[in-house]
């Protein structure tokens, strides 16, 4: 069982998203556990304060080091071997590769930042990594934590219940996934590709590979530029990118 511990001042935010769909199914099956912990439980003052004004002045509040340090240490004791990840816009951009790496651990401890961020000593001495879900700023790390849990948990063997595969998804092979179609074969004059209706497995796989390359080159040329394609595949991708840049 993989154990997810989330440290937040708003644990109620996680009730809905984690009570539905694949996450709930995986938890019910004993494949994972997900716990949202209220950081205030580790605050020792009468008012359970978890933030304070920044040294040096400036706007906003900063999350205090003492309750965060106590909470992280406590969670580490109950979730040995689990890395601690701080959710922050300054972190490494979340990717499928990171999700595959994290699923190899027995657990994961996620720290949700808030306000102007956390005391730098938390970042330096109590966290193993920092994760961002994009180059934009949210009100806190709770929504990014939900995204990370979802991305990692679904990779746990058995979490998808055998209904879906993670091997041909977008980003899994360095390419975006090919277009998908289902019944009816024709709708309001729009038809599904004939090759998908042919039953010819080799031709279908060839079509899917080609469409994945074209879609990736059109929408995420940066993924092509990272390498991985060779021969005719690379030639196709570069041709698509060239035409897009020329406005063709």
- 118 DSSP β-pair partners: 63
Q: Is 188 left (phi over 0), alpha (psi -120 to 50) or beta?
A: left
pLDDT digits (tens, 9 = 90+) for 167-222: 555 555 789 999 999 999 999 999 999 999 999 999 999 999 999 999 999 999 99
Structural domains for the chain = 2-153 (3.40.1280.10), 186-245 (1.10.1270.20)
Backbone angles phi, psi at 109, to 5 degrees: -110, 120
Alpha helices (runs of H) in 52-200, residue ranges in sequence order: 65-78, 96-102, 120-125, 142-153, 194-197
pLDDT digits (tens, 9 = 90+) for 12-41: 999 999 999 999 999 999 999 999 999 999
């Amino acid at each position: 069982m993989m154990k997810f511990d989330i440290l937040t001042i708003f644990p109620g935010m996680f009730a809905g998203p984690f009570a539905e769909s694949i996450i709930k199914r995986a938890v019910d099956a004993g494949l994972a556990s997900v716990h949202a912990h209220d950081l205030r439980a580790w605050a020792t003052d009468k008012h359970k304060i978890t933030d304070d004004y920044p040294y040096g002045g400036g706007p906003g509040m900063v999350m205090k080091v003492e309750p965060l340090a106590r909470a992280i240490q406590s969670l580490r004791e109950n979730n040995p071997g689990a890395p601690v990840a701080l959710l922050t816009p300054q972190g490494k951009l979340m990717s499928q590769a990171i999700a595959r790496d994290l699923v190899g651990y027995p657990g994961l401890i996620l720290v949700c930042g808030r306000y102007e961020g956390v005391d730098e000593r938390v970042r330096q001495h109590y966290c193993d990594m920092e994760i961002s879900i994009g180059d934009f700023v949210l009100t806190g790390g709770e929504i990014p934590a939900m995204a990370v849990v979802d991305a990692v948990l679904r990779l746990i063997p058995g979490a998808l219940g055998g209904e879906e595969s993670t091997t041909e998804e977008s980003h899994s092979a360095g390419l975006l996934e090919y277009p998908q179609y289902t019944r009816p074969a024709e709708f309001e004059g729009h038809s599904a590709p004939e090759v998908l209706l042919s039953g010819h497995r080799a031709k279908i796989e060839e079509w899917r590979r080609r469409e994945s390359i074209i879609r990736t080159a059109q929408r995420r040329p940066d993924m092509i530029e990272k390498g991985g394609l060779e021969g005719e595949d690379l030639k196709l991708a570069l041709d698509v990118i060239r035409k897009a840049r020329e406005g063709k």
